[in-house]
Amino acid sequence: MLDKGLSVGEAQAAFSNINRLSGGIASFLGKVRDDGETQALELTHYAPLTEPAIRELAQEALSRFALDGVLVWHRIGVMTRGQPIVLVMAAAPHRRAAFDAVDFLMDHLKSASWLWKREKRGGTWEWIEPRAEDRLDLSRWT
Partner 1 sequence: MVRIVYLGKFADWAGRDEEEFEAPLDWEGLAQRVEPRIAEELRGDRAHISLDGVVLADKQALSAKDGSEVALLPPVSGG
**Please, which residues have CB within 8 angstroms of residue 97's CB and are 6 or more apart in sequence?**
65, 66, 67, 90
Residue 69 binds to a second copy (criterion: CB under 8 A):
no
Which of 1, 2, 106, 128: binder of a second copy (CB under 8 A)?
Answer: 106
Residues in region 114-133 near a second copy by CB under 8 A: none
Q: Which is nearer to a second copy, 24 or 77 (CB)?
A: 24
* C-beta separation of 73 from 11 below 8 A: yes
Q: How many residues does the chain have?
A: 142
Q: Which is nearer to partner 1, 8 or 128 (CB)?
A: 128
Residue 136 binds to a second copy (criterion: CB under 8 A):
no
* C-beta separation of 69 from 11 below 8 A: no
Residue 123 binds to partner 1 (criterion: CB under 8 A):
no
Residue 127 binds to partner 1 (criterion: CB under 8 A):
yes
Residue 20 binds to a second copy (criterion: CB under 8 A):
yes
- Rounded distance between C-alpha atoms, residue 31 and residue 7, angstroms: 13
CA dist list (Å): 76 to 1, 2, 4, 123: 6, 6, 8, 20
Residues that bind partner 1 (CB under 8 A): 43-44, 46, 48-49, 52, 74, 85-86, 109-110, 113-118, 127-130, 133-134, 136-137
